[in-house]
Structures are given as C-alpha cells and as structure tokens.
Structure 1
Amino acid sequence: MNIRKKIAFFIHHIELINHWHNIFSYLDKNKYDVIIAEDSEPLLEYLKEEKINYISLDEILKKKIVYQYLISNHFVRKTSKRVCLIQKIAIYNIRYLYALGKSKWNFAKWNRFYDMILCMGPHQVSKLQFCKKTIKKEIGYSRYDNFFNNQPNKDSILKKLHCNINKKTIIWLPTWGEICSIPTFYKSISSLMKKYNVVVKPHPSSLQHEKEKIKLLDDCHFTCVIKKNFDNLFLYTIADFVICDYGGPPFGAIYTDKNLLLLNSDNKTLKNYQYLEPDSPDIEIRKYILNISAKDISLLSNLIENTSFWGEQKKIRSDLRKKYFSQNYGNSTETFAKILSSLDQYFPRSNWKLLKFKLKNILK
C-alpha cells in the first residue's frame, strides 16, 4: 500500500470542473492531486493548462495508492456490501454536496460512508442528521463566488452564445430522464425566440444518453444549444429569466437571484421517479416559485412579461436563500479552503482505533 499524505479530488465527469475550479485556483497546486475516472480530451486539456497534478483511477487501483483525504461529490460505486470505491482509495472521505434537489439521491444512506460532508446551508445539514458519525459543515455555494466578486463580462458571453445583446435572454436548464421537460415544452419555449434570446443547456446525461431529445432541440433552431462543457456561472450572468424543471439548476437561479419559472412533469411520472420524494427541495419550492404544467403552457409568454409578478417573486427568493444557503456569498471558496487546511485537526492521527478500522476497509 502506497499512502499519499495529501488531498485528492475525484472527478468522474468534466462537469465537476465547473463546481471545483474556484478551489483548484485557490489552493497550492502542490498540495492536491486530481483522480480522473474518465480521460476525455477537454478534461485533460483543462488539467494540463491549469498545471494541476492528475492521476487515473486505473493507476490508483493498480498501484494500490491510498490518499489521506479524498473529496468527491458522491460515493461512485460499491465494491462490496459494506465498502464502496472511495473507501478503498482514501483513509478519510469528504463529500462536497454539489446540488440541491432529488433528495432520495442526495440524502441516501451511502452518505454514511463519508467522514465529513460540506453542505451549502442549514437545510442539507438538517437532512443529514442520520449520519451521526459524520462531521457536517456549512460552506455556501463556492461554484458561484465569482458571481458576487468578479462577475464575467455579460456582452462577451452573449456574443459567444450567438445572442442579440439588445434582447432579453432566457436560459433553459432541463434535467434528464423521465422528468426532463424537453419533450413536453420544447415547441412552446422555442416560440419565445420572437422576443427573446433562448439558450438551452441540456443535462450532460441527456447529451450522452438521450440523443432523441437533443434532436428535438436542434430541430427548433434555438439561439444556442450548449453541447460542450460550459459553466452555469456564465449562464446566470446573462439570464434575465431562468426556466428549469428539477434537480440543481433552480437553486443556482435562486442563489444568484434570477427570475425563475419551473416546468412541471405529470403527477404519475413524478410519483414513480426514483430520486424524488414529497419533501425534495425541487418539489418543495413549487409552493412558492412560479410553476406551470403542460395544460398551462399557453400562459408562458404572458407570465414572463408580467413585471409586477416578478417583483413579488424577488422577496420569495430572498426567503428561500436563507432556508437553503449559508449567507456566505462570494466567500465560500475561502471557507472551503480553511476547512481543508484544518483537516488534521478534525481527524487527528492519534485516533489509531479509527485509523485501524479504515485501513481494514481499504485492504478488503
């Protein structure tokens, strides 16, 4: 066994770069490695350009390398009934919660595999109380620190996405799978291009596994359909309105205080969907945030143009931010980094009983 006394980040999809690039830039690059489970060309280009040390998962397993600390966004996969992959490649595991929504997934029992979980705010801390031996820390939403500190140039992003800078811009961020809003709403949303730029960023899993949905978007000739890695920070920067269905994107809009409209799936599909439950945040916010179903789609244009309504929604979004997010706007990366620099205090090496148990899992 080759133990590396440093931090590693586990990346299984290039989209995670958008979640972690702030912390990668903030930390001393000699103090961490990136473990890659895929060798996509854009991911490798990014790591090389940023001069970030990286190593493949295959090499880790082959050489039996074990890191002192590993940061990941979920448990990846189980290797046996009681042990998962991340436990075999690190002594201490830290989860960085990358999204709100889909509670059955985000708050599943496998969270107990983690020694520490970094949460966006009080809601996630509360939902993870069943992980009694896991340290929970609130850090905010580090992905969007630059929205508050060093916001990108709006006009340059609009031009890059082929938008008319004299029009208002709608960003549509659909999820994937059975509850994806593309098949039901693509025609109605495309009709908004008469007055607005309409930029669509499909879910990465739709791009990979749902080609028929991407074709529906292509056939409508939206202002732009984003098919490569593109940080949502840039999309919230240019957005006058954000349209979502389920998952994490609605909360990015709430966090950045953007006018938000939600598209509903039918009740039968929702009931059978494996990752949602009645108190999932992406269900819960529908009590307060404007949402429409297929039968109401004719109202879409009028709702977007109702300026008095959006004034009322602004106060609602403010209240939701307090519920779901730590009030740490623009400083989450610094908070994240301070916790990482103090990990030896949270997990002292003198705790040999715990260390022995963890090494036993690694050797299984």
Structure 2
Amino acid sequence: MIEASQDQNWYYTMLPLWLWSSAARKSFNKIMKNLRKKKSNIKYICPTKKYAFLLHEPMMLNHYENVWKALGHSEFVIVLTEKFHVDENGEEKEGIPSFLNHITQEKYQTFDIQHIINSGIFFDYVVTNHPISGTSKSIKKTTKKDILKKLLNRIFIAFGRQPIWQYNVDIESLLPLQIGKKQIRYMYGADLSDAWSLMGWNEIYDIFLCHGVNDERIVKERFPGKTFIMGYPRYDDYFDSEIDLSSIKKEFYLSDQKKTLLWMPTLGGVGSSIPVYAKLIADLDDEFNVIVRPHPLSFVQEKDFIYELEKNNLKIDRNSTRNMNELFSASDLIIADYGGTPFSSIFIGKNLIFLDVPGADSMPINVDSSVLELKKHLPVFTPENIQNLPQFLNSQTSLDENKKMIDYLFEKYFGSTRGGGSARVAKFLKSL
C-alpha cells in the first residue's frame, strides 16, 4: 500500500509525459490528495507487491499458505480467477465461505482478476500450479489508447467506483501471462506424466519450484526455466510443530483402539478407485477407522462417486481447505490409486499401499507416469485380494518392510530435507 510520506511524484511515471501540462498536473495532484484519504483503495493505483499468487480453487490455500506466512504480507497479493467462486454448474464451490473468512481474518490482500485486467496491472512474478485457462503462449499487444484507459480505470476503482472501460480476460492467452511479467510454476505434487504435468504449456514458466530431485531432473530435461527444490511447504507443520488431533478424532469418531486408514482416491473418472472399492473398503470399517478424502473436485465432477461412498456409509472428508497435516498425523496407513497422494505419503514417511484399478494404468494420463514407477516398489491390492489388507496391517514385519521402502523412495524422488520448505521458498523468492 502506498503511504502518504512517499515521493509525491511517483504517479507521473504512470502516464505518458505528453499528458502532463501544468493544468493536468495540478488537477491530478488534487485527485491524489483526496485519494490518499482512502488508503484501503489506493492499492489499485500502484500495487507495490512483487508477487501475485493466482488462485482458481479454494483448496490451493492449503498448498500456498505456509509460503505466504514465511514471505510476509508486504511481499505478495492473492488474485482470484473469474470462476474462483462458482463451479461449472454455477453453484458456489465447496470451501468458499471458509476460504474467504480465513483470508479476511489473516488480512491477506486480495484482488479479483477482472480488476487487475481492467487496471492494466502487471506483477513482476505470478505464481500458479498450472496455467488455469487459455491455450496460446503469446499475449495480445495493448494499444497506447487502452493503456491510458486502464490507468484511468485504476483511479475510478480506487475511489470505490466501477471502471469506465471493461476489458475481458482473453480466453485464448494462457491466464498467468495476462497479469505477470514473469511466471513461476509451483509444482502441484511430484507425480509427473506427459498427458498433464509435462505438457507444452510449461514453456511459459521462467522458474519451477520443484518438490525434489526427481521432478527437478525431469523438468530440466524438458524445459528451459530455472529450477529450485522446495520440498513440500504444505507439510512443514507435520515436522515442525505438535499437531492436536482431538478435533479430527471427534469429527470422524476415531477409536484409539483401532488403526486408522486414510483412503485418498484421485480425480480420475474411470481411473478412480471409488466405484471399484467403495463397498470393499467399507467392509473394513468394523476392524479399522476408515476416512475417505476424495479429490475436492470430485464433489462437482464425480457426484455419482460421492453417492457411492455415501451409500456405503463411509466417513467422508468434505473440507477442501483442510490442513492435511491433521489427517496424515491421525492415520496409520495411506491408501492411494494415482495422482499426488502417494508422493505426499512418501515425503512425510507414512506407510502406503496402492489400489489397482483395472485398465487405469493404460490411461494416457498414467502411461509412463511417476506413479507407475512407485507401484513397482510398494504393495498393490486388487479387488480379488483386498481382503488380505487386515493381515498386512497386523503384521509388524510387513509394516517395517513398507517403511523401509518408503525411506528408500524418499531419497530417490526427493533427496531433500523434510520440513522447512516454506522458509526456503520465501528466501529464494526474496532473492529474485
């Protein structure tokens, strides 16, 4: 936020010099004097934050917040996409109220992307986990006339009014390019595949924040951007602080006399383990505490799968912005199929098994993926032998062997320090 004590001539650099006649300067000075009385809105005139985190889903709070805290409020803003609040059906997304309450409580500075576009604001760096929308790696040039209109829009927005001229988000250009000079990709899980995380849109990124040595190596082989190994900042609290499990135990009725299984099926359509295993996992509920955490987008895109879980009376975690350190800490075993969950489990050192989904290994998004490599090293249960899972869990030898393999895979895929990731990222970003 611009303070009144700063150089009063800063704003003259924002408009072409030919506009500044003596009368124009005098008039604009008067406007700025009045505007300084509205400090809550002056941020729109000249944003001073170096980094913008562009968010498309409330669940991204859990990925980024530890880094936000380490950076400090003065270094970044949050920019919300046009469809941040509503899903593809036009309904409010799960987790929106809790997200908005949280960022208000934490006093994070937040913009809607429409205001950023209308104001012609470009941040030095934009952080995203993927480009979110658009297909083109180029951005349309802005005319001098539009530059002036957008600068004037800033003044109107700062006065709490609607901008005079409306500029829509370009549906063709990749979204981060429309508000940032340079792009940072914050890797969204250590699972890599040609059909998703290694697609050609990665070429827009100047910097990749990688989880470990494996994704760093592969990114370096494919794309020209610089890399930095950050670990998993979202799991810092798992290692750095004592986690109170009382609320989790109460919420999911966890018995201290039973081991707790956390099943985390990915968003996978026909590749999801939910329709194949819902009844089979539910059958374990008498002997174990069972919690199911579907991918947050499954509640919108795979409602029939959610119904399958409900029909079998499974305990479902619906909190898209939950601090995952609580769930992981309360669990004795992670059950996964595909996606980033297996790598998260390995990073924190949790015992892990896979559920095999018939035909899913050959889906384009899974072919030659990092997850298939993991399945060569860890137990894989099928619909035919899932009844043997209790025997596995009750065998200390099996659990010890599993843990030993988890430690080996950590060194292979991460080779970094567990914990402290947010501080490393913040230090790196401040050095740019």
Same fold (TM over 0.5): yes
Following the alignment from structure 1 to structure 2, what is the Cα–Cα distance between the partners of residues 163 and 85? 43
* 1:4 Cα deviation after fit: 4.2
State percent identity of aligned pairs.
Answer: 29
Alignment of 1:246-257 (within 5 A): 246-257=338-349
Following the alignment from structure 1 to structure 2, what is the Cα–Cα distance between the partners of residues 19 and 205? 15
The residue that corresponds to 1:24 in the other structure is 68
TM-aligned CA distance change 1:166 to 1:333, over 3 Å: same
Q: Deviations over 1:126-164 (max 9, x none)?
A: 111244531011111111011111031133321232222
Q: Deviations over 1:294-348 (max 9, x none)?
A: 23223222222222111111111111101111422121111100111011xxxxx
- Normalized per residue, the structure richer in strand is 1
TM-score by length of 2: 0.75
Following the alignment from structure 2 to structure 1, what is the Cα–Cα distance between the partners of residues 384 and 304? 23
The residue that corresponds to 2:311 in the other structure is 219
Q: Quick check: 1:51 aligned with 2:143?
A: no
Alignment of 1:77-156 (within 5 A): 77-78=133-134, 80=136, 82=138, 83-104=173-194, 105-156=196-247
* 1:64 Cα deviation after fit: 2.1
> Aligned with 1:70: secondary structure?
strand
The residue that corresponds to 1:289 in the other structure is 378
Alignment of 1:308-327 (within 5 A): 308-327=397-416
Q: Deviations over 1:221-262 (max 9, x none)?
A: 12x211122222111110111111000111111111111110
Q: Deviations over 1:150-179 (max 9, x none)?
A: 031133321232222332211000012221
Following the alignment from structure 1 to structure 2, what is the Cα–Cα distance between the partners of residues 292 and 86? 41
Following the alignment from structure 2 to structure 1, what is the Cα–Cα distance between the partners of residues 251 and 65? 21
The residue that corresponds to 1:172 in the other structure is 263
TM-aligned CA distance change 1:213 to 1:102, over 3 Å: farther
The residue that corresponds to 2:353 in the other structure is 261
> Aligned with 2:408: secondary structure?
helix
**Code of the aligned partner of 2:252:** L
Following the alignment from structure 2 to structure 1, what is the Cα–Cα distance between the partners of residues 192 and 182? 26
- Contact 2:137/2:204 (<8 A) preserved: no
Following the alignment from structure 1 to structure 2, what is the Cα–Cα distance between the partners of residues 81 and 150? 42
The residue that corresponds to 1:195 in the other structure is 287
TM-aligned CA distance change 1:57 to 1:327, over 3 Å: same
Following the alignment from structure 2 to structure 1, what is the Cα–Cα distance between the partners of residues 384 and 245? 35
Following the alignment from structure 1 to structure 2, what is the Cα–Cα distance between the partners of residues 133 and 255? 27
Following the alignment from structure 2 to structure 1, what is the Cα–Cα distance between the partners of residues 298 and 46? 38
Following the alignment from structure 1 to structure 2, what is the Cα–Cα distance between the partners of residues 156 and 138? 33
TM-score by length of 1: 0.89
Q: Which has the higher contact order (CA 8 A, sep 6+)?
A: 1
Unpaired stretches in structure 1, ≥5 consecutive residues: 344-364
Pairwise CA RMSD? 1.7
* 1:27 Cα deviation after fit: 1.9
Figure out how many residues of one structure are paired with residues of the other and give that number.
339
The residue that corresponds to 1:361 in the other structure is none
The residue that corresponds to 1:329 in the other structure is 418
Following the alignment from structure 1 to structure 2, what is the Cα–Cα distance between the partners of residues 51 and 207? 29
- Contact 2:192/2:215 (<8 A) preserved: no
